[in-house]
Structure formats: C-alpha cells, structure tokens
Amino acid sequence: MGTVSQLHDNVRPPAHRIETEEEAVSTARELAAAFRRQANERDINRLMPNAELDTLSQSGLTAITVPPEYQGLDVSNALLAEIVAIIAESDASIGNVLASHFRVLEGLRNQPSEELKSTLFARALDGDRFAATRFSEQAGLVAEGSGFCLTGRSEQAAAILFSDWIAVAAIDPGGRRVTLHLQRDSDELQAVDDWDAFGLRTNGTATLIAGKLHVNADTVTAALSGDHATEKSLGLLLHAAVGLGIARAAFSDLLLMAKDPSAFSSKIGEHAIRIETATGALEQAGRKLDIAQVSPAGAAMAEACFSASSACLTATEVALATANALFELARGTTGSIALNLDRHWRNARIHDMAIQREPLLNAAGAHILKISEN
C-alpha cells in the first residue's frame, strides 16, 4: 500500500496519556466542572468551545478508546458512556462532539489497514480529534493518479468545525461504498458553518465542500458492512450518553429552581428514577458492546445493537421529560431569558431529531422475533 502519504505532521503538542480508568473518570469530572462555568454564556451568544475542546484533547480524554495494541487504554464501553454523560451534563454540545469523535475511532478499530490504524491512532493519542460525514451520491469521486479526486458537498455533521480528521463516506468509481480519511485543513476542502438549529448550538456542525480534492489511495478503505457493526452500536450508546447528560443537567436545575421541592416529592422521585433507569440501560448496553467487540459473532453484535438502541431511545425520552418537568414544577422565574434554562429542552429536542426512531423500532422488533423463533 505504501506510506500514508497524505497525512501531514501534527502541530499540536502531544497530549497527556491517561493510564487508568479511575484517572479517566476523575479527569472527566474536573473538566466538566470547568466547562460548566461558561456553558450558559456560550449557548446564548453561540461562542464556540474551541479552548475547552483543546483542553479536553490535551487532557488525554479523547484517546481513552485507542486499543492496547496501539498503546491506548481502551476503557470499557459502560465507563465510556458515563464519561460522555459527565461531559454532556456540563455542556451538551461538547458532549456531542466527544460522542462523534469516539464513534469514528470505533470505526477505525475495525478497518483492515494496519498502517492507517497505526497512523491515526497515534494522532488520537497525541490529541487529534475526529468527526464523520457523508458525501451525497451526486458528489464526484473519480480515479486520479495514485488515488481519487473528490468534488461536491457533504451532509451536515456534528464536530466538523473542531476536527483534525474526517471519516467521509462516499461511493467510488466502481460503485463501492468507501470511507475516505481526510485531514480537515487539506487544500480544496472547506468547512462551512451553516448550522442554525435552536439547540446544540455550539457542537461544530458544518458542511464540507470539496473542490477537486486529491485523495491518496492509502487513505481510502472499503466501508464497514453489517446492520449491527460495533461502530453503529457505539454511536447509539453515546447518543444515549449525551441524552442522559442533558437529563441530569435539567434535573439539577430543577432541584435548584424549585422553591419548595418537598411539595413535588413524588414527581421529583419519578424523574430521579427515570434518570437512574436510563443510567442502568447504558451500563447494560455497554457491557453487551464489550462482548461484541471481543467476540464479533452475529448474535453478540445483534444483541449489542438492540441494547444500545433501547438505551438511546430511553435516554432521549428521559431528557425531554426532565427538561419539560423543569418548567412544569419549578415555574416562577424559569422562563427568564437571562437564566437560559430553556437550553436543556432545546438541546434535548434537537438531539432527539437526530434519531431515526422508526428504523430502530423496526430493527428491535425483528431482533426479538428472530430470537423467539429459535
């Protein structure tokens, strides 16, 4: 295959290496406390969390899923989900960026090219951040010299504005689905900040425009196949983690804003139990995904995807319900623009819209029916 010649030198100083899962959790909590201080201001004024994300990268937290064979820690998936939830509770947009990053690293884990994995996992260990998007089928990917030439526009995708590397889904000249691994500051590749949603306002969503971008063949791999790929399951699990973080943030503000919490003890207990139930769903899905990663048999991968789908839908519903409860129970000044408490509902609603609910429910039903037939 030759060298991965399109990948340029890193200009960021190497990140700290997190050595244990305990250190990963404590680091996440310390960062969350710092991120929370100006999260409200960032949301109101749409101030991008560039400094916060650089701090996140330098802490080593963005590298905790790099496999041991590439000198990484590779934390358990249940712990990874909890770490993303901790960060999302402090700032949902930063949690969203982190979730996108880890999903790309999971896809990289399953790629066949050892050279590509070695190169990009090393970058992840140094603190580089990853995002993913898809170019439309109308985009052009044509053979050019030792690789391809890419032109066209991508779909909008989270974390693009903060990424160093982008995993791009496209279709090659032979009609195959492939993944292109691009450096964001490549010539002829532009990221357009065109995100105008009312929630997750600072999650770095953007559209890529490629104008005759040369892509070397050794950075192109066949797209991973299978409805139950661990990359998909991890994406669902971490989507759930962001939802759980939003729910926890709204619940914390509910307790703070309620003038007489004891008057609503039943309702508060109900929402606390729902959040705890969602937390348990994430833990179970994480354990099943651990098994699927170690032993990627069809049954294990299908069960991991089913469990992650369940956690995703559960956590999203809990986030919306808790955000609504904040206004229903606390009342008073919760509608104040200055307090910006509506950001929890806005974040939960936009996060929910990213889920393809009907396909998940159909797949879950098919999974259960298949089990019942055996």
- The strand pair at 130-134 and 165-171 is best described as parallel
Q: Could you tell me if residue 10 is inside a domain? A: no
Q: Which residues pair with 191 in a beta bridge?
A: 208
- Residue 11 falls within a domain, yes or no? no
Judgement on whether residues 149 and 177 belong to the same structural domain of the protein: yes
Please give the pLDDT value at position 224.
Answer: 78
* Tens digit of each residue's pLDDT (9 = 90 or more) over 106-125: 999 999 999 999 999 999 99
Domain end position, chosen among 222, 248, 280: 222
Give yes or no: residues 218 and 255 share one domain. Answer: no
Q: What is the pLDDT of residues 299-322, one digit of tens each?
A: 999 999 999 999 999 999 999 999
How does pLDDT run across 213-245, given as a tens digit for each residue? 999 999 999 987 776 799 999 999 999 999 999
CATH no. for residue 54?
1.10.540.10
Half-sphere exposure of 183 (CA within 13 A, CB side): 19
How far is residue 88's CA from residue 82's CA, in Å, rounded to a whole number?
Answer: 10
Is residue 367 over pLDDT 80?
Answer: yes
Compute how many other C-beta atoms are within 10 angstroms of the C-beta atom of residue 132. Answer: 23
Q: Which residues pair with 165 in a beta bridge?
A: 130, 183
User: Nearest-CA neighbor of 243 among 304, 306, 317, 305?
Assistant: 317
Q: What is the pLDDT of residue 73?
A: 97
Give pLDDT, residue 7. Answer: 56
What is the Rg, in whole angstroms, of the alpha carbon atoms belonging to the chain?
A: 21
Looking at the fold, whether 89 and 181 belong to one and the same domain comes out as no
Q: Does 132 have pLDDT greater than 60?
A: yes
Query: Same structural domain for residues 195 and 160?
Result: yes
272 found inside a domain: yes
Which of 222, 240, 261 terminates a domain? The answer is 222
The number of folded domains in the chain is 3
Residues 53 and 147 in one domain: no
**According to the model, what pLDDT value does residue 275 have?**
98
Q: Indicate the pLDDT class of residue 75, thresholds 50, 70 and 90.
A: very high
Judge whether 71 lies within some domain: yes
Asked if residue 313 is part of any domain, the answer here is yes
For residues 237 and 349, state if they share a domain: yes
Above 70 in pLDDT, residue 9?
A: no
pLDDT at 8: 55
The answer to whether residue 9 sits within a structural domain is no
Task: Tell me: do 106 and 154 sit in the same domain.
Answer: no
Domain ranges, residue 87: 21-125
Q: Is the pLDDT of residue 4 over 80?
A: no
Q: Place 374 in a pLDDT band, splitting at 50, 70 and 90.
A: confident
In this structure, the answer to whether residues 152 and 136 fall within a common structural domain is yes
How far is the C-alpha of 31 from the C-alpha of 24, rounded, in Å?
11
Task: CATH number of the domain at 175, please.
Answer: 2.40.110.10
pLDDT of residue 3: 45
Average pLDDT over residues 36-51: 97
Compare 179 and 138 and report the one with higher pLDDT.
Answer: 179
Alpha-carbon distance 249 to 86, whole Å? 10
- Calculate mean pLDDT across residues 77-94: 98
Instruction: Confirm whether pTM is higher than 0.85.
Output: yes
Question: Do 108 and 39 lie in a common domain?
Answer: yes
Tell whether 244 is covered by a domain: yes
Same domain for 110 and 140, yes or no, is: no
Give me the mean pLDDT over the 183-195 stretch.
Answer: 94
Q: In terms of domains, do 145 and 117 share one?
A: no
pLDDT at 1 exceeding the cut of 70 = no
What's 238's domain CATH number?
Answer: 1.20.140.10
pLDDT at 47: 98
Name the amino acid, one letter, at 329.
Answer: L
CB 74 within 8 A of CB 333: no
Residue type, 303: E
**Residue 42 and residue 120 share a domain:** yes
Judge whether 280 lies within some domain: yes
What is the Cα–Cα distance from 170 to 177, expressed in whole angstroms?
A: 6
State how far the alpha carbon of 312 is from the alpha carbons of 134, 148, 242, 269, 356, in Å. 22, 37, 9, 22, 11
Query: Strand 207-216's sheet: what is its strand order?
Result: 140-144, 147-153, 207-216, 189-192
Assign 174 to helix, strand or coil.
coil
pLDDT tens-place string over residues 327-349: 999 888 889 999 999 999 999 99
Find out whether 72 and 15 touch, Cβ atoms under 8 Å: no
- The reported pLDDT for the residue numbered 326 is 95
Domain boundary among 90, 125, 160: 125
